[in-house]
Amino acid sequence: HETASNALTPRTHMADPEWVTATQTALGPLIKRPKLTAALLSKPPFRFLHDIVSEVTRATGFADGLFSEDELQSGRIKEKELKIAYLSKIFKCVEVASGGALGVRPGKVVAGMEPENTNAFLVALARVATSGVDNAGVVASTLDAIAASAKSSSSSPPASAPPVQAEPLPPPPPPPQPPPPPPQQQQQ
């Protein structure tokens, strides 16, 4: 039977999810901080992810030049929209470098959801950061893609909108005619 002290003892005998150990294996040799603990990787907070990206950049040069001065300081990224913009930028950079889609949604990551996908991103980050890609070319392509996306999204309908018809629409039907007045009775 369990004693009260055993019930309060953390369960260290449970195995970490595979995606946590994959992240630790991929990033562990690259960075010494932040500590890649199972608890943080199981629900990675934004600051933790920002610190990982910053350390990977320091260690490998990958994504150097991608972020503005304000974006490089995690303390200046407080609002949800800014966090999503930061993550969108690094996700796009990893996609450009790897040539494939990540399948991770920045809004879900900021909300602490889908940690498996977040860890898959971290593994992909480690892979491309150590692959010898042309960092300057990857950063330039990423920034171009982000600028093109911003330009097209502000001047055209969203991709989910139906295509615009090339042929003009037929004219609308004429408005309905008012009903005839009721017959007037003659007064006597």
Closest to 88 measured CA to CA, from 62, 127, 49 = 49
Calculate the alpha carbon distances from 86 to 31, 79, 91, 92, 133 in Å: 20, 11, 9, 10, 21
pLDDT digits (tens, 9 = 90+) for 65-117: 999 999 999 999 999 999 999 999 999 999 999 999 999 999 999 999 999 99
R_g of the chain computed on alpha carbons: 28
pLDDT category at 7 given cuts 50, 70, 90 is very low
For 126-175, the pLDDT digits (tens) are 999 999 999 999 999 999 999 999 998 876 544 444 443 344 455 556 66
Q: Are 91 and 128 in contact (CB under 8 A)?
A: no
Contact 95, 28 (CB under 8 A): no
Residue 41 has pLDDT above 90, yes or no: yes
Distance CA 27, CA 92 (A): 19
pLDDT tens for 174-188 read 666 767 777 776 655
